[in-house]
């Protein structure tokens, strides 16, 4: 093996822009019933970047979440990891090496490792996958994706998941600008709405657990308005995200519940997650009332300013449609989020490395015909 792995203490996970790869996220998920593992892995540089020297070693930390799927079996999930992206031609080679060395550190009843890859989608870099308007049309068939990713691997064991867990299409905003320039990069209507909310007296502040019930009311209104009746998080989930202590962690993450109101009526809210140099719009919600006050724009603008003050260099809108197709169910979010400027980013999504092929076949069949595995 070219890659080596050693366990480490959860609390010692190093700082990362990706909050889902920090000790904070491990604590949140432990509270929600999962078992987190932390590892330090090392690999020669040429395992990631073929044209570099083998004599140089690369190392990084990795958070793995273990979840039982029945009384006998479990699955390992790597949320937005590994963080460092190899050259495209070595995506599969690196994942195979890493999976094989992780195998011995996981319980014997673990049937797969699921990597939720934050790496840029290989096909989003190729002109053939864009239409005449410059909109990305998505990757090729699963068979073609698997063929490319498994190329040069020994076992041809990487499987593209039927669905993804964390968002694979997002928009990143560069925060390394003045407020005036950030406003200038927005689309005219978005900029107008930000300023309109200010003129109308919409106020945005940060709150704690005492406002969770108001958040939940807004969250449920939003879900109902958009016809969403599944996959919703409960109150305990949001409490754990907001209240998990981080002061004693080197990979400290700060979560703020931002709420916009006018004259005491709460109109919009969001969870802002701050990790190293990245701010993330984790969850958002808004009231059915007084939508003409554009409170959702006020919340986003305040989040960007707070992320800047925290020292973040980028802001992650965390999920949108992959392109401007008006028929896409997330088209409304696409229009809203692209209005703030920024650059669309498409990631590789979820890939499985089966450890027990017989049990994996059963697991995959259940996912095909029933509720999808969900651990984010």
Residues 56 and 110 in one domain: yes
Residues 116 and 45 in one domain: yes
23 in a structural domain:
yes
Residues 351 and 224 in one domain: no
CA-nearest of 344, 345, 272, 282 to 309 is 272
37 in a structural domain:
yes
Domain boundary among 290, 312, 334: 312
The structural domain count of the chain equals: 2
Residues 101 and 218 in one domain: no
CATH classification at residue 267: 3.40.630.30
Domain of residue 139, residue span:
4-168+347-369
68 in a structural domain:
yes
Q: Are 121 and 139 in contact (CB under 8 A)?
A: yes
pLDDT digits (tens, 9 = 90+) for 144-200: 999 999 999 999 999 999 889 999 999 999 999 999 999 999 999 999 999 999 999
200 in a structural domain:
yes
- The whole-angstrom separation of Cα 282 and Cα 303 is 11
Handedness of CA 26, 30, 36, 38 (dihedral sign): positive
Residues 221 and 162 in one domain: no
- The whole-angstrom separation of Cα 250 and Cα 248 is 7
Residues 159 and 186 in one domain: no
Residues 32 and 147 in one domain: yes
Residues in the chain, total:
376
Residues 158 and 234 in one domain: no
CATH classification at residue 147: 3.40.630
The tokens describing 255, both together, are 């979560």
- The whole-angstrom separation of Cα 180 and Cα 93 is 45
Residues 191 and 253 in one domain: yes
Model pTM score: 0.94
159 in a structural domain:
yes
Residues 187 and 158 in one domain: no
CA angle 31-360-63, nearest 5°?
35
126 in a structural domain:
yes
pLDDT tens, the chain, 376 aa long? 589 999 999 999 999 999 999 999 999 999 989 999 999 999 998 899 888 766 788 899 999 999 999 999 999 999 999 999 999 999 999 999 999 999 999 999 999 999 999 999 999 999 999 998 888 999 999 999 999 999 999 999 999 998 899 999 999 999 999 999 999 999 999 999 999 999 999 999 999 999 999 999 999 999 998 887 767 788 899 999 998 888 777 767 999 999 999 999 999 999 999 999 999 999 999 999 999 999 999 999 999 999 999 999 999 999 999 998 888 888 888 999 999 999 999 999 999 999 999 999 999 998 887 655 444 4
State the helix-helix crossing angle for 235-243 and 212-225, rounded to 10 degrees.
130
């Amino acid at each position: 093996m070219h890659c080596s792995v050693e366990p480490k203490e959860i609390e010692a996970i190093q700082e990362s822009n990706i909050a889902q790869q920090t000790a904070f996220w491990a604590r949140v998920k432990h509270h929600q019933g999962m078992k987190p593992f932390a590892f330090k892995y090392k690999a020669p540089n040429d395992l990631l970047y073929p044209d570099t020297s083998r004599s140089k070693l690369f190392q990084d930390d990795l958070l793995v979440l273990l979840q039982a799927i029945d009384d006998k079996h479990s699955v390992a999930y790597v949320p937005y990891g590994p963080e460092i992206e190899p050259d495209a031609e070595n995506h599969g080679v690196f994942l195979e090496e890493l999976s094989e060395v992780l195998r011995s550190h996981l319980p014997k009843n673990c049937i797969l490792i699921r990597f939720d890859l934050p790496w840029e989608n290989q096909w989003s870099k190729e002109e053939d996958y864009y239409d005449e308007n410059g909109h990305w049309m998505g990757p090729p068939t699963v068979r073609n994706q698997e063929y490319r990713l498994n190329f040069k691997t020994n076992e041809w064991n990487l499987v593209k998941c039927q669905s993804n867990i964390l968002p694979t299409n997002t928009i990143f905003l560069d925060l390394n600008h003045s407020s005036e320039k950030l406003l200038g990069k927005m689309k005219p209507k978005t900029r107008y709405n930000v300023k309109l909310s200010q003129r109308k007296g919409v106020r945005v502040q940060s709150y704690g657990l005492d406002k969770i019930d108001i958040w939940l009311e807004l969250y449920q209104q939003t879900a109902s308005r958009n016809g969403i009746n599944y996959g919703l998080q409960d109150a305990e989930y949001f409490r754990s995200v907001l209240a998990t202590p981080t002061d004693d962690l080197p990979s400290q993450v700060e979560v703020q519940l931002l709420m916009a109101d006018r004259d005491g009526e709460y109109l919009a809210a969001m969870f802002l997650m701050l990790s190293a140099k990245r701010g993330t719009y984790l969850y958002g919600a808004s009231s059915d009332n007084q939508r003409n006050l554009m409170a959702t724009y006020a919340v986003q603008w305040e989040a960007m300013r707070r992320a800047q003050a925290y020292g973040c260099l980028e802001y992650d809108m965390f999920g949108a449609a992959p392109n401007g197709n008006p028929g896409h169910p997330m088209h409304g979010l696409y229009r809203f989020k692209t209005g703030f400027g920024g650059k669309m980013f498409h990631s590789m999504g979820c890939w499985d490395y089966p450890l027990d092929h017989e049990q994996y076949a059963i697991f995959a069949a259940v996912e095909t015909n029933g509720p999808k595995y969900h651990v984010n």
